[in-house]
Amino acid sequence: MGEVMSRQKIGLWSLVGGVALIFAWVAMTQGPLAPVKVTVEKIQTGNLSSGVFGVGTLKARRSYNLAPTVTGRVKSVLVDQGDQVVAGQVLAEMDPVDLNEKLAGSQRVIEKAANSILASEAQLSEAQSRMNTLSATFIRYEELRARGFISQEMFDAKQHERNAASAALSAATANLAAAREELARAQADMRGVGKLHTQTRLFSPVNGVIVARLAEPGSTIASGQVVLQIIDPSSLWVETRIAQKQAGRVRIGQEAEIVLRSQPQSPLTGKVERVDMISDTVTEERIVNVSFANNRPESGIGEYAEVTIRLPDLSNARTIPSAAVKRADKQDGVWVLQNKGVQFRPVKIGATTMDGRTQILDGLGDDDTVIVYSQQPLRPGLDVKIVPRLVQG
């Protein structure tokens, strides 16, 4: 009986020991004490083809908002969305109210001023003729008075007549000048009324397309309120937002590919037309305007588009997977394999490609091995185990 009990104890302790060994093995290889599984890659050197990606909005570089300069009621709108228009074409009219009557009144004032000029010119001619006659008579009277043939009273009377004729000539000259000034004022008033009348009609400033009709006949609108919007279809481009980190190598003239949301299967070619000098400090983005190289798209203004700008290739570029670049303590860096542990090393990065490669400018040697993916967050000195790939589970 005792021998049987002893064998049972030995078997039990053997079982416990085996379980303990299995638990220890699992803890050391698969559990929290096991090395962290990682994938690694060495730095690569070669030509780097890079590009910049951004999302933008289809807009017109040259867009025009047509609005009246005075408050009034819309009389007629002669065009609609999508209509082709030419420069100088009348597109809409405002109710002129009493401008037609004012224009007719100004015309009559001009006619009256013109008649006043004719009358003043006749008066001036008469005064000039009278002045010439009296001047000649006065000269003869001076000679007669000098010889004593006429009395002083007769001479003074003739001199008075000459002075009166001179005053009448001056008055006629002044009247003619005043009549001409009145005509000029009336003509200026008529031009002013004419301009107001012209401003009741909205003309197209360019050859373009109507993209918005914002008022209908009979509606009252305020001064400056937009009635129609026109764009120059040849000036369409994509206002693209590019991250500041990627915008440094973007230059005017670089080729681009544009994919409109309405035409995802038909990429269009384009080129960088303008790079804004001012960046958005909130979103940390820069506006890059990309124009269409060939045909303009048949899309609506405001449509979203995806833009890929091709950048010049970099020769002898040293690169690593972008997934290996981490951000810690406000600096870029990578986890480097060192013996069986890891160490975080700050690096200076350059261009980043859309296929997941990042240029390393400084901080890594050609023989360094960087950690691309890890099973869990890393820390200095942590034991790691290199695997071909990480299995999600």
Q: Calculate the alpha carbon distances from 80 to 92, 208, 212 in Å.
A: 10, 13, 8
Q: Output 384 or 123, whichever has higher pLDDT.
A: 123
CATH number for region 35-48+314-388: 2.40.420.20
Distance CA(188)–CA(194), nearest Å, equals: 10
- How are the residues of the chain apportioned to helix, strand and coil, as percentages rounded to the nearest 5? 35, 35, 30
Query: Given a cut of 90, is residue 195 above it in pLDDT?
Result: no
Helix (H, G, I), strand (E, B) or coil at 386: strand
- Output the pLDDT for position 313: 78
Mean pLDDT of 301-328: 85
Topology alike, domains 52-60+232-313 and 65-95+200-230? no
The CATH class, in words, for 99-198 is: mainly alpha
- Output the pLDDT for position 241: 93
Does residue 65 contact residue 227 with C-beta atoms inside 8 Å?
no
Query: Given a cut of 50, is residue 280 above it in pLDDT?
Result: yes
CATH number for region 52-60+232-313: 2.40.30.170
Q: Calculate the alpha carbon distances from 269 to 178, 290, 291, 318 in Å.
A: 69, 10, 9, 30
Does residue 224 contact residue 42 with C-beta atoms inside 8 Å?
no
Mean pLDDT of 190-215: 86
Q: Is 52 exposed, middle or buried (0-12, 13-18, 19+ CB in 10 A)?
A: buried
Average pLDDT, the chain: 82
- Output the pLDDT for position 27: 43
Distance CA(358)–CA(44), nearest Å, equals: 10
Nearest to 198 by CA among 65, 68, 80: 68
Q: Output 115 or 246, whichever has higher pLDDT.
A: 115
Q: Output 271 or 387, whichever has higher pLDDT.
A: 271
Which of 188-192, 196-200, 295-299, 308-312 is predicted least confidently?
Answer: 295-299
- Give me the residue spans of the domains in the chain: 35-48+314-388, 52-60+232-313, 65-95+200-230, 99-198
- Output the pLDDT for position 5: 56
Distance CA(388)–CA(242), nearest Å, equals: 35
Q: Is 367 exposed, middle or buried (0-12, 13-18, 19+ CB in 10 A)?
A: exposed
- Output the pLDDT for position 29: 46
Q: Is 2 exposed, middle or buried (0-12, 13-18, 19+ CB in 10 A)?
A: exposed
Q: Output 200 or 391, whichever has higher pLDDT.
A: 200
Over residues 31-74, the pLDDT tens digits come to: 455 678 888 888 888 887 778 889 999 998 888 999 998 888 99
Q: Calculate the alpha carbon distances from 324 to 211, 296, 350 in Å.
A: 48, 41, 14
Identity of the amino acid at 343: Q
Helix (H, G, I), strand (E, B) or coil at 350: strand
- Output the pLDDT for position 213: 93
Nearest to 77 by CA among 65, 92, 90: 92
- Output the pLDDT for position 149: 77
Over residues 332-376, the pLDDT tens digits come to: 888 888 776 788 888 888 877 777 888 888 888 888 888 888 888
Query: Given a cut of 90, is residue 228 above it in pLDDT?
Result: yes
- Output the pLDDT for position 6: 61
Mean pLDDT of 175-193: 86
* Domain 65-95+200-230 of CATH type 3.40.640.10: no
State CA 3 to chain mean position distance: 98
Over residues 105-136, the pLDDT tens digits come to: 888 888 888 888 898 888 888 888 888 888 88
